[in-house]
Amino acid sequence: MTSPITRLRSLRRGRAIHLLDIENLAGSPRPTTYDVRQTMGAYRHAVPIGPLDQFIVAVNHSALVPVGVAMGRALGGVQLLVRSGPDGADQALDEAARTDRVDLRFERVVIGSGDGYFADLAGWLTGCGLHVTVASQRDRLSWRLYTAVPDTVTFSLPVPQAA
């Protein structure tokens, strides 16, 4: 008979969850479908994504439709959270991670944001024994979040070319 601890470890093995603050990653409180596609292209190039990985994306209500369309095309099967107000999307991601107990179901967490808001969540996840990586645009990574994790990946968005 396997112990509950052994079962939990086997559930976590090889699995990662990506918690994406798409507004921060795209550099806009109202990213367009194009912005999200460009951002996710750069993200996928910089961050390894495994076959068992899952994605939770948070956004404010005014960007729900363009983000939902773009994420559905980019990844499919993404969980989309909506909350408005100051730090609304950030709070939604934090609550989902803690309430859904990602620490019991995943081996690795990628926080897709440079927002210092996520430093406490990163600390909690690291303390639970998960490998935590932050993925952010180079110029959007806060010092507080950078120092809270052992691993960071930065990327730049493509510069639009003049016609």
pLDDT tens digits, 81-94: 899 888 999 999 99
How far, rounded to the nearest angstrom, does the alpha carbon of residue 136 sit from its chain's CA centroid? 9
Per-residue pLDDT of the chain (163 residues; tens, 9 = 90+): 555 555 555 667 788 999 999 999 999 889 899 998 899 899 999 999 988 899 998 998 888 876 777 777 777 678 888 998 889 999 999 999 999 999 999 999 999 999 999 999 999 999 999 999 999 998 999 999 999 999 999 999 887 655 5
Hey, which CATH number is domain 4-155, 3.30.230.10, 3.40.720.10, 3.30.300.30, 3.40.50.1010? 3.40.50.1010
* Torsion of the alpha carbons at 98, 55, 67 and 111, rounded to the nearest 10: 60
Q: What is the pLDDT of residues 113-144, one digit of tens each?
A: 999 999 999 999 999 999 999 999 989 999 99
Give 121: exposed, middle or buried? Use CB within 10 Å, 0-12, 13-18, 19+: buried
